[in-house]
Amino acid sequence: MNSSVSPAVNDRLDVSKLPGHIAIIMDGNGRWAEKRLMNRIKGHQAGADAVRRIVRTCREIGIPILTLYAFSTENWQRPEIEVTTLMSLLKKFLDSERNEMIENNIRLNAIGQIDKLPEDVRTSLKRTMDLTGKNKGMLLNLALSYGGRAEIVDMTKAIAGKARDGKIDPDSITAEIVADQLYTRGMPDPDLLIRTSGELRISNFLLWQIAYTEIFITDTLWPDFGKDEFIRILIDFQRRERRFGNVR
Ligand code: FPP
Residue-wise pLDDT for 95-112, tens only, equals 999 999 999 999 999 999
Alpha-carbon distance of 166 to 196, in angstroms, equals: 45
Number of domains observed in the structure of the chain: 1
Tell me, yes or no, whether 62 lies in a domain.
Answer: yes
Centre of ligand 1 to C-alpha 247, Å, is 38
Helices (H) and strands (E) in the chain, counts: 8, 6
172-192: average pLDDT: 98
Which CATH number characterizes residue 163's domain? Answer: 3.40.1180.10
User: Which of 27, 31, 221 for a ligand 1 pocket mutation test, highest count of atoms within 8 Å of Cβ?
Assistant: 27
Centre of ligand 1 to C-alpha 26, Å, is 6
- 195 close to 218: Cβ distance less than 8 angstroms: yes
Q: Is 176 within a domain? A: yes
Q: List, for residues 184-228, the tens digit of each pLDDT value.
A: 999 999 999 999 999 999 999 999 999 999 999 999 999 999 999
Give the ligand 1 atom nearest the CA of 44: 11
What pTM was estimated for this model as a whole?
Answer: 0.95
Q: Is the pLDDT of residue 8 over 80?
A: no
26 neighbors 222 (Cβ within 8 angstroms): yes
Band of pLDDT at residue 248, cut at 50, 70 and 90: confident
From the alpha carbon of 45, which atom of ligand 1 is closest? Answer: 11
27 flagged as catalytic: yes
Q: Which of 2, 11, 14, 75 is catalytic?
A: 75
Q: Which of 27, 29, 141, 191 is catalytic?
A: 27
Q: Would the CB of 48 count as within 6 Å of ligand 1?
A: yes
Instruction: Report yes or no on 127 lying in a domain.
Output: yes
**10 belongs to a structural domain:** no
The residue range of the domain holding 135 is 19-238
CA distance 202 to 206: 8
Backbone angles phi, psi at 141, to 5 degrees: -105, 120
Confidence of residue 244 (pLDDT cuts 50, 70, 90): confident
Specify whether 75 is catalytic: yes
Q: Report how far apart the first and last C-alpha atoms of the chain are (Å, whole number).
A: 33
Angle at which helix 227-239 crosses helix 40-61, to 10 degrees, equals 60
Domain assignment present for residue 14? The answer is: no
